[in-house]
Structure 1
């Protein structure tokens, strides 16, 4: 077949927006699997009553994130599944956080908002309350 024929087919595919949307995500995953880098934005904001871990990965849905807590080690990860029926899962991101003792592990929660995962780490309420200690004699 002449080269012109293949160029015409490529141009039709490039003009097809649905095709481009489907292939763009797969190219990104293949780039990551082939040694490319998916760079998430990770920030830890510390406040008086707790801290917030913020993770933003472009075009990653909330369903792709997983959070695991093992004693005082928090793991935040994101994976990609090629399609809903596929069992093949590819890691996109994983990071461990060692939590300080003032974090109340029973009150940790997470919310996904504005394309960002926020893991809220509240401190124990006793950390910021002054208490007088009675002296016994």
Structure 2
């Protein structure tokens, strides 16, 4: 029989859950360049498999994250739980063609490309009417 380990709730509330459970994580680098055709978001995460970076668009944001497995209660469980680790959460500019955003992995880093839209976005000045 395995010994039961009891950790006080006060300690659990103050630990870095993902880092403690999975034995540590590497620090990621994220940078953005503006080119002639659009924005390039580069991500470098040493020790992370190329297939592990997730790229989602939610409510006008580009969300970059990985999923880390959380410990199972027992080995008989079929479903494993995952804890998301956010690498970047970037606001998508209004001049981006959201339908044509692409991502690829090459030379040890991910590149997410956000092409410019044909129209210049929804920007205009509105004059105030006086009554």
Above 0.5 in TM-score? yes
- Given the two structures, how large is their TM-score scaled by the length of structure 2? 0.61
Q: How does 1:1-137 map to 2 (within 5 A)?
A: 32-33=19-20, 38-81=26-69, 87-127=80-120
Tell me how far 1:49 sits from its aligned partner: 1.6
- Structure 2 spans left out of the alignment, 5+ residues: 1-16, 71-77, 121-131
* Structure-1 separation of matches of 2:94 and 2:111: 20
Q: Whose helix proportion is higher, 1 or 2?
A: 1
Deviation, 1:114, is: 1.1
Whole-Å separation in 1 of the counterparts to 2:85 and 2:63: 13
Is the CA contact 1:41–1:55 (under 8 Å) kept in the aligned structure 2? yes
Asked if the contact 1:38–1:92 (Cα under 8 Å) also holds between the matched residues in 2, the reply is no
Give the SS at the match of 2:19: helix
Count of residue pairs the alignment pairs up: 96
Contact 2:44–2:110 under 8 Å retained in 1: yes
Query: How big is the shift at 1:70?
Result: 1.6
Normalising by structure 1, report the TM-score.
0.59
Tell me the C-alpha RMSD between the 2 structures. 2.7
Alpha-carbon shift at residue 102 of structure 1 (Å): 0.3
Q: Which has the larger radius of gyration?
A: 1
Q: Name the CA distance, whole Å, in 2 between partners of 1:117 and 1:96.
A: 15
Tell me, what secondary structure is at the counterpart of 1:106? helix
Deviation at 1:95, TM superposition (A): 1.8
